[in-house]
Structure 1
Amino acid sequence: MLIFPFLSREILLLIFAGAGVYGYITNSDRNITNLIVSVVLLLLISITANLYSYSLPKYIIVSAIQISTIGFTSATIVRCGAKKDLQENTTNLPSSLALLIAGGSSAFIAGSWYAYWTAAVSYELIFFIAVIGAITAALFESIPSSVDRLFSMTLGSAMAMWILAAFGYTVAPLHLLIAFIFALFLGYLAYRTTIADISAVLSATLMGVLIIVFSNILWFVLLLTFFILGGVFTKYKYNYKLDMGIAQEKGGVRTYENVFSNSTAALVLAIAYGIYPQHSNLITYAFLGTVATAAGDTLASEIGTTARQTPRMITNLKSTKTGTDGAVTSLGELAAFGGALAIGILGAAFGFVEHIIPAILITCAGGWGGTNIDSLLGATFQKNGYLSNSGVNFVATATGALISGILYILVL
Structure 2
Amino acid sequence: MNGNSLNIEKRNSGPGITVMHAAYLLLILIAPFAGVHVLLLLSLGVFFWLRFSGRATSDNRGEISLAFSMSLMFLVSAVFESFSYHLPLYIVLGAFAISAVGSHNWYSPESGKNSGFGSGGGRVKRKGFSLLWSSVFLGLRILAAFLAGYWVIYWQGFPVSPSLVFFIAVIGAVTGSLFESIPSRIDSNISVPLGAGMTMWIFEEFRYWVPPERMLIALAFSLLLGCLAYRAKIADVSALLSAALLGVLIIVFSGLSWYILLLAFFILGGGFTRYKYAYKESIGIAQAKDGIRSYENVFSNSTAALALAVAHGVFPELSLPILYAYLGTVATATGDTLASEIGTTAKGRPRMITTLKLANPGEDGAVSGLGELAALLGSAVIGLLAYLLGVSDNLLLSVLVTTAGGFFGTNVDSLLGATFQKWGKLSNSGVNFLATFAGAGISGGVYLLVSGF
Q: TM-score, normalised by structure 2?
A: 0.83
Instruction: Confirm or deny: 8 A CA contact 1:203 1:256 kept in the other structure.
Output: yes
2:78 corresponds to 1:47: yes
Q: CA deviation at 1:52?
A: 3.9
2:131 corresponds to 1:100: no
Q: CA deviation at 1:99?
A: 2.9
Q: CA deviation at 1:92?
A: 4.5
Q: Which amino acid aligns with 1:152?
A: S
2:256 corresponds to 1:217: yes
2:111 corresponds to 1:86: no
Q: Partners of 1:117 and 1:268 in 2: how far apart? A: 34
Q: CA deviation at 1:45?
A: 1.4
Q: CA deviation at 1:94?
A: 3.7
1:68 is aligned to 99
Instruction: Confirm or deny: 8 A CA contact 1:197 1:254 kept in the other structure.
Output: yes
Q: Partners of 1:8 and 1:49 in 2: how far apart? A: 15
Q: Partners of 2:134 and 2:330 in 1: how far apart? A: 28
More helix by share: 1
Q: Partners of 2:291 and 2:242 in 1: how far apart? A: 17
Q: 1:102 to 1:28 in 2, by over 3 A?
A: farther
Q: Which amino acid aligns with 2:146?
A: F
Instruction: Confirm or deny: 8 A CA contact 2:405 2:443 kept in the other structure.
Output: yes
1:141 is aligned to 180
Q: Structure 1 regions of 5+ residues with no counterpart?
A: 21-25
Task: Give CA deviations for 1:10-61 in whole Å, capped at 9, x if unaligned.
Answer: 9959x97xx99xxxxx994211110010011111111232344421001111
1:23 is aligned to none
Instruction: Confirm or deny: 8 A CA contact 1:92 1:198 kept in the other structure.
Output: no
Identity value in percent: 53
Q: Which one of 293, 309, 329 corresponds to residue 290 of structure 1?
A: 329
Q: Which one of 162, 180, 195 corresponds to residue 219 of structure 2?
A: 180
Q: CA deviation at 1:398?
A: 0.4
Q: Which amino acid aligns with 1:102?
A: L
Instruction: Confirm or deny: 8 A CA contact 1:233 1:299 kept in the other structure.
Output: yes
2:87 is aligned to 56
Q: CA deviation at 1:323?
A: 1.1
* 3-state SS of 2:373 partner: helix
Instruction: Confirm or deny: 8 A CA contact 1:295 1:339 kept in the other structure.
Output: yes
2:232 is aligned to 193
Q: Partners of 2:322 and 2:435 in 1: how far apart? A: 17
Q: Which amino acid aligns with 1:405?
A: G
Instruction: Confirm or deny: 8 A CA contact 2:104 2:124 kept in the other structure.
Output: no
Q: 1:176 to 1:158 in 2, by over 3 A?
A: same
2:365 corresponds to 1:326: yes
Q: Which one of 148, 163, 179 corresponds to residue 124 of structure 1?
A: 163
Q: Partners of 1:51 and 1:84 in 2: how far apart? A: 35
Instruction: Confirm or deny: 8 A CA contact 1:27 1:85 kept in the other structure.
Output: no
Task: Give CA deviations for 1:334-378 in whole Å, capped at 9, x if unaligned.
Answer: 000111011010011111223220221110000000000000000
CA RMSD of aligned residues (A): 2.8
Q: Which amino acid aligns with 2:213?
A: L
Task: Give CA deviations for 1:133-186 in whole Å, capped at 9, x if unaligned.
Answer: 000011011100011111100100000100011111121000000000000000
Q: Which amino acid aligns with 2:74?
A: L
